[in-house]
C-alpha cells in the first residue's frame, strides 16, 4: 500500500496571532478551525495547513480528552512549499514584495533526471521564520 496524498502539513510558530494574520491576509488562506493559543488551521487547495503553537502541543492530553491527539512539535525553522505555475510565481513575487516581504532566493532548478524537469522557486519567510516556497510542480516531475 502507498499513501495517495498528504492531507495535512504542519508548521510550528512562535506568534500564533501574527502567523494567522500572515497566512490569512498575505497568502489568502481560509481559516477552517482555531483554538485560541494552541492552533489555527487553514484550507489550502485539496489539503489543510496546520499552524501550531509548538509549546501548547508538547503536552499530552488529559486521559479523558475527547480528541486524544498525541503530543508533537518541532524546534527551529520549518519549511513548506506551495505549488504554483511560472506565471503565478511571478505574481506571488510581486505580491510579496509589495508587502515588504523579502524574497530570499529566486532561481531555476536543474533537471535531476527522469523524476524532475527543472522549474522556478522563490523562497521567503513567515513571521516565525519558517521558510516558505512557491515552486513549479515540475521540479518533482509533476
pLDDT in tens, 54-69: 888 888 888 898 888 8
Q: Is 6 exposed, middle or buried (0-12, 13-18, 19+ CB in 10 A)?
A: exposed
The set of cell numbers assigned to 49 is 495547513
Measured in degrees and rounded to the nearest 5, phi and psi for residue 109 equal -80, 145
Domains in the chain, CATH or no CATH each: 8-58 (3.10.180.10), 79-140 (3.10.180.10)
In the numeric block, the cell 487547495 is attached to: 45
Q: Find out whether 123 and 105 touch, Cβ atoms under 8 Å.
A: yes
Cβ 29 vs Cβ 19: under 8 Å: no
SS3 label, residue 55: helix
Residue-wise pLDDT for 96-141, tens only, equals 999 999 999 999 998 876 666 789 999 999 999 999 999 999 998 8
Whether 142 shows a pLDDT value over 90: the answer reads no
Buried-exposed string 92-109: b where 16+ CB fall within 10 A, e elsewhere: bbeebeeeebeeeeeeeb
What CA–CA distances, in Å, run from 48 to 2, 10, 62?
20, 9, 26
Amino acid at each position: 500500500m502507498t499513501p495517495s496524498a498528504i492531507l495535512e502539513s504542519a508548521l510550528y510558530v512562535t506568534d500564533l496571532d501574527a502567523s494567522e494574520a500572515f497566512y490569512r491576509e498575505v497568502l489568502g488562506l481560509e481559516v477552517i478551525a482555531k483554538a485560541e493559543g494552541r492552533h489555527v488551521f487553514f484550507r489550502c487547495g485539496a489539503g489543510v495547513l496546520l499552524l501550531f503553537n509548538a509549546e501548547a502541543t508538547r503536552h499530552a492530553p488529559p486521559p479523558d480528552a475527547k480528541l486524544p491527539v498525541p503530543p508533537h512539535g518541532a524546534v527551529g525553522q520549518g519549511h513548506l512549499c506551495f505549488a504554483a505555475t511560472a506565471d503565478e510565481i511571478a505574481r506571488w513575487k510581486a505580491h510579496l514584495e509589495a508587502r515588504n516581504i523579502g524574497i530570499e532566493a529566486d532561481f531555476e532548478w536543474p533537471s535531476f533526471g527522469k523524476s524532475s524537469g527543472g522549474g522556478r522557486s522563490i523562497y521567503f519567510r513567515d513571521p516565525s521564520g519558517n521558510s516558505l516556497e512557491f515552486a513549479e510542480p515540475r521540479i518533482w516531475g509533476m
